[in-house]
Amino acid sequence: MSNANGQTSLGHGYYLEDLSPGMEASVSKVITDADVSAFAELSGDINPVHLNDEFAATTVFKKRIAHGFLTGALFSTVLGTKLPGPGCIYLAQGLKFRAPVYIGDEVVATCRITAVDTAKSRVTLACDCSVNGKTVLEGEAVMMVDRKA
């Protein structure tokens, strides 16, 4: 479904009353050279470890790596489109970078509800990005979620 501007409309996501601990959702994405270049352009982070093969070869990583926040943005994809989904508002996100993500890696981002605070209309989620089953990024998100009318 698209709106008048040609943008996809997902409709409203889950309401607070529909959420419970243990619910989870995931997305996966292969990180491309074009993704890294676009993220560098958008963010202004032009660190050569992301953009220059010769420079990256001299680092501990030995080759170019994706921006950590590019990987972390996949949490926003899960949260904003799947769980809790459209209508939720990001309040907080903690991140712990565990391992590099290389161009060509397939990243799986998973968010799992750990707590629902009905008094404050808040949901806490454990977030994990993995490559080949190994955690590369983990954290915790807090979202504000609408109640049913």
Residue 113 CB coordination number (10 Å): 21
pLDDT tens-place string over residues 6-63: 455 678 899 999 999 999 999 999 999 999 999 999 999 999 999 999 999 999 999 9
Q: Is 122 a domain residue?
A: yes
How many domains are there within the chain? 1
Confidence of residue 1 (pLDDT cuts 50, 70, 90): very low
Q: Which domain holds residue 35?
A: 20-144
Report the C-alpha gap between 42 and 70 in whole angstroms.
11
What one-letter code names the amino acid at 60? Answer: V
Radius of gyration in angstroms for the set of CA atoms belonging to the chain, rounded to a whole number: 17
pLDDT tens-place string over residues 73-126: 999 999 999 999 999 999 999 999 999 999 999 999 999 999 999 999 999 999
Half-sphere exposure of 83 (CA within 13 A, CB side): 23
Half-sphere exposure of 46 (CA within 13 A, CB side): 3
Rounded average pLDDT over 128-135: 98
Bridge partners (DSSP) listed for residue 55: none
Return the H-helix or E-strand segment holding 55: helix 53-57
Q: Is 104 a domain residue?
A: yes
**Amino acid 2: pLDDT:** 44
Q: Is 98 a domain residue?
A: yes
Q: Is 109 a domain residue?
A: yes
CATH of the domain at 108: 3.10.129.10
Give ∠ CA 31-34-35 in degrees, rounded to 5: 45
The answer to whether 119 touches 48, Cβ cutoff 8 Å, is: no
Q: Is 9 a domain residue?
A: no
